[in-house]
Structure 1
Amino acid sequence: MAGRNGRTVRDLRRANRTAVLQRLYFEGPLSRFELGPATGLSSGSVSNVVADLVADGLVEEAGSVESDGGRPRTLLRVAPGSGHMIGVDVGETRVRVELFDLTLTELARAERPLTQQRYDVEVIVGHIRDGIAEVLAAAGLAPERLLGAGVGVPGIVEHTPDRGAVVHGQTIGWDAVPLEALLRAGSPLPDTVPYVIDNGAKTLGQAEMWFGAGRGARNAIVVLFGSGVGASLVTPEAEHGRAVEWGHLTVRVRGRRCRCGALGCLEAYAGAESLLARWREEGGRVPEGTDEETALTALLAAAHPADDEEPDPVALAVLEETAEYLGAGLSDLINLFQPERILIGGWAGLQLGTRFLPAVRRYAASYALRHPAEKVTVELGRLGPDAVTVGAAILPLADFFARGGRRPEPAPDHPAPAWRTALEERAPH
């Protein structure tokens, strides 16, 4: 039965469960007394919801605290073992798969390095499937106990009604790849466990906003700085983030050719791949036969040598130019979206680190409009190289919370009779 605002009793019950679960998840342990003001629910509603969640095994007692003149108050928390998620990062040098419990404590991980044919679709799909099977076996967890497997990928992710998530990854040669359907075929997971696929920058942003340097911000931009660059925009209208193809903003007309095929993209100047290419072109000693992470380490060592060695002026110049392009790119984000925070993550961003950041801040401020530039802070992300996998695992977790802590029900073969639906909606809270 729907109320005046169109919400049914079932909707209200789900919203109340979501409110209690989220408060306990982010602020717990909390007592029932504290949950009332925190959620805006009456004490009776809190008691009913908590009893329901305890019965479902989602919430458990976590000790007690003294109260003012009364009995000690029992503390409650989300039960860590009541749900599990997998996060997958399809990165530039490896595919990383991690298994987490409901509190995002890592239980197992698997990594598959990527070779020269690193973005062959069949290879990537095989790595993901094998990695999922490996982490489940390592933890001794049955696949049906998963809430879902989140996957962060490069490129634009289109969610279609017939083929599921389809990836348009121009820079990696993926043209409308039906990744969700490919993963589902021969999957180690049952059909009741969803794959949730999204852009890697968005999953990074999700992780930093939930657990990292973005907590408390209403408007933020999280930058993924790896072989290329991307960004996720978080606003009150897009609280779970929206991926933007920032790396393919044109910063120089008829400039360097980007790996997407266009000329003058930011990624052709600010990504680790282009940074190393420019160092090589200027006569830098790039180690042969190594991956990008090792080569970037060598560039940093040349620019900032230990002891009394002279720094490599070419390496310093390339880093300075990269900082300027990155800062100029950030200025466009500042002018367009006026965020309160910009966070830089990704393996290359974290490797360049605090020594690189002051120059980036300086250039961002010099290219941006003064008023929004004065209101933004530019910092490094806090979650390290696992942030994309954590964010990917959050995708099914966020969906689980939105459903009030209930798993998706399998679609019935036939629609339920109208009388049954009406009775369920009238059921007491």
Structure 2
Amino acid sequence: MATPSRRTVRDLRRTSRKAVLQRLYFDGPMSRQALGGATSLSSGSISTIVAELVGEGLVEEAGTVDSDGGRPRTLLRVAPSGAYLIGVDVGETRVRVELFDLSLAELARCERPMRRNGYDVASVVRHISEGIRDVLDEADVAPELLLGVGVGIPGIVDRASEDADAVVHGQTIGWDAVPLESLLRDCAVLPAGTRFFIENGAKTLGQAEMWFGGGRGVRDAAIVLFGSGVGACIVTDGAVFGEARGNATEWGHTTLHVRGRQCRCGARGCLEAYAGAEALVRRWQEAGASLPPDTDEETAVTALIAGAYPEQGPADPVALGVLDETAEYLGAGISDLINLYSPERVLLCGWAGLQLAPYILDAVRRHAKAYALRHPAERVTIELGRLGPDAVTVGAATLPLAAFFARGGRLHEQVTEGEVSVEQTGWRVAMETRTLAAAPKEPARK
């Protein structure tokens, strides 16, 4: 006997609004007629939903397009100023907080440096809370218009149930079951009911690349976060309107060398002990490089590249050797992802990945395919991520955005047609601007 559907009229309305909003967001501007065909909703439903969304300030007109023999059709798009999002990247060297409009154009940012071994819980909570206040004040945005705050964090994010607060287990940063979500809610001065969305940083980066970057159009992908350490987000069986069904993996703590180098997680031989930027700098110093004691990792990586690829004079063979080793370690690690998940595409992201890619990407591709099984290696491409160094904050901002879509575009409820000559959709402009600004420079030629 068939189980009767328990969906209510409210559920159906939410689903229809979600379909219209997502279609406009990812494929707009579109006319009402095109929306009907794309969503399979009736013209009456489209008219009613569009009128609601326009009345709520979430959708606006975006020009017209000629129709076949009739009056020009009005194009619609999601209004950038309809609501706002905050994305937070709790990184290895800094806490970055960014405020975005609905098109994911950046309106304000705040960065607070992290001290060495500075993952003190109280300091991180304070940096995030003060950063939220600062970006809202700078952009003069009312907190009531926030859809939520997304936070990308190192470590494993756990919830006892779907509705429970997020707890962070970060072995490499010394966090053991830290109730980050409740701490932020208690500390940040935001309207009651404002939600925090806590997720692993690699997963937020992966979702950003799947929604707007190098993962668009791909069903199976591995997005590699190469920063001080390394991590990965695995996406399998495609995405629906960009909702990446991805899982963050502790790929950096898979064993590369039995009884090998000490990793900061406490184990030996982890991939991260060989391929992360922290490990790369340490190996360079062990080989004889001298750096001032207070040199941060990003500056140290820049100095290593300058030694390996100087603008003038001979290259430092030690620096070149470290880069070559790193490319092989990283390629070997990526071969495990290829063998385990058979992705169509691997994307190399993260601040260190972007900084090093012009010098090591070709070698990484070569080593990954040499270590991987032939069949999955023949179908994969290994490319650079497209969203630049802010991809984690962009991805973190997509967490409240996805929840906004899921509740049908309700701000606080819990739970191209033909040849069109119009301005590009807002999020595409924002992402393309971000990508161009972050484009890596070509290495100096010897």
Residue 187 of structure 2 aligns to a residue whose secondary structure is coil
Residue 236 of structure 1 aligns to a residue whose secondary structure is strand
Could you tell me which of 293, 310, 328 is aligned with 1:324?
328
The corresponding residue for 2:441 is: none
Q: Distance in 1 between matches of 2:211 and 2:164?
A: 30
Q: Distance in 1 between matches of 2:120 and 2:205?
A: 23
Equivalence map 1:365-380=2 (5 Å): 365-380=369-384
The corresponding residue for 1:193 is: 194
Could you tell me which of 244, 266, 270 is aligned with 1:265?
270
The corresponding residue for 2:358 is: 354
CA contact (8 A) 1:143 1:188 kept: no
CA contact (8 A) 2:218 2:238 kept: no
Structure 1 stretch 358-367 or stretch 187-196: which is displaced more? Answer: 187-196
The corresponding residue for 1:419 is: none
| Count of aligned residue pairs for this structure pair | 409
The corresponding residue for 2:436 is: none
User: Are 2:352 and 1:345 equivalent residues in the alignment?
Assistant: no
Shift of 1:4: 4.1
The corresponding residue for 1:169 is: 170
Q: Distance in 2 between matches of 1:219 and 1:285?
A: 43
Provide Cα deviations, 1:71-110, integer angstroms capped at 9, x if missing partner.
0000000011111010000001100000011111111111
Q: Distance in 2 between matches of 1:95 and 1:215?
A: 28
CA contact (8 A) 2:227 2:276 kept: yes
The corresponding residue for 2:151 is: 151
Shift of 1:355: 2.1
The corresponding residue for 1:215 is: 216
Equivalence map 1:22-171=2 (5 Å): 22-161=22-161, 164-171=165-172
CA contact (8 A) 1:163 1:180 kept: no
TM-score (norm 1): 0.92
User: Are 2:259 and 1:254 equivalent residues in the alignment?
Assistant: yes
Structure 1 unaligned regions, length at least 5: 412-429
Q: Distance in 2 between matches of 1:384 and 1:185?
A: 32
Could you tell me which of 281, 303, 309 is aligned with 1:304?
309
Q: Could you tell me which amino acid in structure 1 is paired with residue 367 of structure 2? A: Y
- Runs ≥4 residues deviating over 6 A: none
Residue 263 of structure 2 aligns to a residue whose secondary structure is coil
User: Are 2:280 and 1:275 equivalent residues in the alignment?
Assistant: yes
Q: Distance in 2 between matches of 1:237 and 1:43?
A: 30
Structure 1 stretch 176-185 or stretch 39-48: which is displaced more? Answer: 39-48
Q: Could you tell me which amino acid in structure 2 is paired with residue 320 of structure 1? A: D
The corresponding residue for 1:392 is: 396
- RMSD value, Cα: 1.7
Q: Could you tell me which amino acid in structure 1 is paired with residue 324 of structure 2? A: E
Residue 393 of structure 2 aligns to a residue whose secondary structure is helix
Shift of 1:141: 1.5
The corresponding residue for 2:426 is: none
Residue 160 of structure 1 aligns to a residue whose secondary structure is coil
Q: Distance in 1 between matches of 2:360 and 2:63?
A: 46
User: Are 2:230 and 1:226 equivalent residues in the alignment?
Assistant: no
Q: Distance in 2 between matches of 1:178 and 1:97?
A: 20
Provide Cα deviations, 1:138-158, integer angstroms capped at 9, x if missing partner.
111121210100000000000
CA contact (8 A) 2:407 2:414 kept: no
Shift of 1:58: 1.1
Shift of 1:3: 8.9
Provide Cα deviations, 1:194-224, integer angstroms capped at 9, x if missing partner.
0000000001111111111111111111110
Provide Cα deviations, 1:24-46, integer angstroms capped at 9, x if missing partner.
11111110111122222232322
Q: Could you tell me which amino acid in structure 1 is paired with residue 251 of structure 2? A: W
The corresponding residue for 1:421 is: none
- Per the alignment, do residues 117 and 259 of structure 1 end up closer, same or farther by CA in structure 2, a change over 3 Å counting? closer
Residue 124 of structure 1 aligns to a residue whose secondary structure is helix
Residue 60 of structure 2 aligns to a residue whose secondary structure is strand
The corresponding residue for 1:381 is: 385
Provide Cα deviations, 1:163-185, integer angstroms capped at 9, x if missing partner.
61100000010111110111111
Q: Could you tell me which amino acid in structure 1 is paired with residue 88 of structure 2? A: V
Provide Cα deviations, 1:229-271, integer angstroms capped at 9, x if missing partner.
0000112378342101100000110000100000000000000
Provide Cα deviations, 1:379-429, integer angstroms capped at 9, x if missing partner.
111111111001001100001001110134369xxxxxxxxxxxxxxxxxx
The corresponding residue for 1:404 is: 408
TM-score (norm 2): 0.89
CA contact (8 A) 2:202 2:224 kept: yes
Q: Could you tell me which amino acid in structure 1 is paired with residue 218 of structure 2? A: A
Q: Distance in 1 between matches of 2:395 and 2:223?
A: 12
Q: Could you tell me which amino acid in structure 1 is paired with residue 291 of structure 2? A: V
CA contact (8 A) 2:407 2:413 kept: no
